[in-house]
Amino acid sequence: MPSSSARLGCVVVAAFVLARSPWASAATSDKPRQPNVVVIIADDLGWADVGYHGSEIRTPNLDQMAEAGVRMEQYYVFPTCSPTRTAILTGRNPSRFGVWGPIGGRSEQVVPPDTTTLADVLHSLGYTTAQVGKWHLSLRPETGPLQYGFDTSYGFLHGQIDPYTHYYKNGDRTWHRNDKFMDEEGHATDLLTTDAVRVIETPRSQPFFLYLAYSVPHTPLNEPSQWTEPYAASIASESRRKFAASVTHMDASIGQVLAALDRTGQRDNTLVVFTSDNGGQHGEEKSENYGGRYDAVDVLGSNTPLRGWKGETYEGGIRVPALVVWPGTLSPRSVTLPTSALDWLPTIAAITGAKVSPDWHWEGKDILAELNGTGDVGPRRLYWNTSREAALRDGDWKLIEFTRGKQPSQLFNLAADPNEKTDEASAHPEIVKRLAALLAEEKKRDE
């Protein structure tokens, strides 16, 4: 495996004056420190599955983050999990790597191992880098997180697991530490949180990067009564109750992560990002997965009032809750301009002073000016490509092309019609033609 420094080339550190943390050693405590970076990812959390968006699901810690931090209200991801994780870690559109949807092949390694990742960039700046939770960019230990710039890894390699047995749906082992399979007892949400807190509480002289990806509220769901009983009288659907319980369980776990930052005096010197990987899923049929232990589910997430579900390029599939908290540096505000999962790598690189190479071909933008209210990056052009459909947003206009069947393309003006109720394709054929040409150019870059 090539070292992070060899893969990245020359990276320099710019001074970034921030509050010092007592977790720094005495030898370095008189020097300005770069911020710690914590990225937290929920799995299948929909637009209307958080309290601050009016949900019946209780998310007091996320609500507090929304009140104290930056709410990103036009934040885009990709329709499914592996593509969004690729985008966050590489700053590139996942279709450039042929990542059209969730990976499933046991030997598949979707991102070339010499690709510069967010972990690589921060590792080369002296950060300790830790991956905790869902990986889903490869399914074998030898192609796990340690091959992509992480010093340590813990959690599961596959896309979904039984929360207690920690096995993949077909019975594959997937729970691991440092890319080596292991067995462990406990609920996945609790185990991941405990390890994340361990990372935070480990004394060190250098800053850390924690990539914390939860397994919930993705199915299968199995929550202790502590989390299900509060919804017994308020949510009629059993599957929605389990979904809500898993979200509140995760929210409480995020509270533990934030409390660990407080205990160690690192809260003000830590940039915390929260996002979902895609929009909420509607339901799921019963299958023989997990030995047939889990029944069909009729209601899971909610993307209200957005149109569409996980797996689709309608807004409900790709526009999700996202928050950024950095006390003392970012003031509470809402960002209503379009932003993307592609933006985290260039933004964090700029914040930490990394020298960026054009050979990395990042496609996101440095959005710090939008986060702190000092400016914006201008009009955005965003692109999605799956095995079933492709979409492009250019300014306020969004075109969706369906690659299966004979369904005609659809056009929406998101400024006037954010919930995509009215197809404008027949009224604006000239815009359809222009966006179709841009979409074809993007597809060509995937080849």
The 10s digit of each residue's pLDDT in 282-312 is 999 888 899 999 999 999 999 999 999 999 9
Confidence label for 5 from pLDDT (cuts 50, 70 and 90): very low
- Global pTM value: 0.93
Whether the CB-CB separation of 123 and 315 falls below 8 Å is answered with no
pLDDT, tens digit, 9 for 90 and up, residues 7-25: 454 332 222 223 334 444 3
In the structure encoding, which two tokens stand for residue 15, read together? 């001074």
Residue ranges in 221-313 assigned as alpha helix (H): 225-228, 238-263
CA atoms within 13 A on the CB side of 135: 35
- Report the b/e string of 189-218 with b at 16+ CB within 10 A: bebbbebbbebbeeeeeebbbbbbbbbbbb
| Omega of the bond leading into 305 within 30 degrees of 0 (cis) | yes
Round to whole Å and give the CA distance between 323 and 334: 9
CA 286 to chain centre: 27
Sign of CA dihedral 153, 159, 165, 171: negative
Report the chain's terminal Cα–Cα distance, integer Å. 27
Give which of 332, 318, 134 is closest to 214, Cα–Cα.
134
Q: Where are the beta strands (DSSP E) in 81-192?
A: 128-134, 152-156, 175-177, 180-181
CA 174 to chain centre: 20
- Which one-letter amino acid corresponds to residue 428? H
Q: What CA–CA distances, in Å, run from 121 to 9, 113, 125, 130, 413?
A: 10, 14, 7, 13, 37
345: left (phi over 0), alpha (psi -120 to 50) or beta: alpha
pLDDT at 180 > cutoff 50 = yes
Question: Which residues, at least 6 apart from 183, have a Cβ–Cβ distance to it below 8 Å?
Answer: 166, 175
Mean pLDDT of the chain: 92
DSSP state of 399: E
pLDDT at 174 > cutoff 70 = yes
pLDDT, tens digit, 9 for 90 and up, residues 195-212: 999 999 999 999 999 999
Round to whole Å and give the CA distance between 23 and 203: 6
Find the length of the chain: 447
In the structure encoding, which two tokens stand for residue 257, read together? 């992560």
